[in-house]
Amino acid sequence: MLNGRTRTTAALAALAVTGAITLSISGASSPAQAEPDIDTVRAKVDRLFHESEQAAERYNDAELELAELNDDLTSLEADQSRQGDALAGVRSDVRDSLIQQYQSGSLGPAGELLSSDSQGFLDELSTMSTVEGLQDSLLADYGAELEAYDIRKDQTEKRRDGIAQLKTTLAEEKKTADAKLAEAKDLLSRLEAAQRAEILSRNAGRPIDPTSIPASGRAAAAIEYALAQVGDAYVWGATGPNAFDCSGLTMIAYAQAGVRLPHSSRAQYGTGTRVAKTDLQPGDLVFYYSPISHVGIYLGNGLIVHAANPGAGVKVSDLDEMPYAGAVRPG
């Protein structure tokens, strides 16, 4: 699995490269301008969908990292609590030592020398000649731990705030991509009105009997589930039961086999064992585009099942229908 720093770098780099969605189809309906042919508009729809999906997957990556950073902060707070308990014990030991010295006549009223504030307590220790024997261990150990904790907490909070802001930016990017995709789809619908039923029927996928696929164990369970969803809708961020996005389908399919996968195609590529294209077996996860932003499950015979796009939903496709990036074997 990619670590948080790698995912942040990847997300920021993707933003710098992608920027605003550059493909524009405005003005296509102008009376003085001939409308583009169907194949050209289809290509535009495909490109705009890919940009939309990239934005969605970058958002998924940021959400995963934000959850990790929140867990880090919870762990840091637990560390701080343990340090506080340790300091309370030290303060008690030092107070007992000072009381003994006071009772022996070598020190003034001990109760007036100890601050209830942690930093004040350490400052007092640094100036009290009567506790010189404790200074090195207390100031070196507790002081260093306290300083390290403050640095880690500050850095983690800054990273968390940065990722939270990145999530907002990515959500806006996704919104822009979706708007342009909707515009392109409207134009395609107008040009293809007579062909719409045929296209949707073809995109619904080819029915395949899962028992005909040479797979067993976890791979067979994942394939059976994924094929049972053919015809379901594609919805960004969905994980079933009646709609999925690409990484949502693969995540839930493999959950049926007891394999946990993150809800991100890029993160899923970091799980399992890498597999060469020539060594693909049914059940392997196959990934597409650069950077990776789409995933499906290999069925054998050059076919995959995947949550394709909002127009096609979950369907069976050729392995090379999209730009191939790699594969992993989960588990």
Q: What is the CA radius of gyration of the chain?
A: 30
Contact 109, 102 (CB under 8 A): yes
Please state the φ and ψ torsions of residue 149, each to the nearest 5 degrees: -60, -45
**Residue 161 identity (one-letter amino acid):** D
Nearest 10 degrees: CA dihedral of 285, 291, 294, 297? -10
Q: Which two tokens stand for residue 25?
A: 């189809």
Looking at residue 6, the DSSP 8-state letter turns out to be H
Q: Which residue has 């699995």 as its token pair?
A: 1
The residues annotated with a catalytic role in the active site are 246, 294, 306
C-alpha 299/C-alpha 321 separation (Å) is 14
Rounded to 5 degrees, φ, ψ at 6 are -65, -45
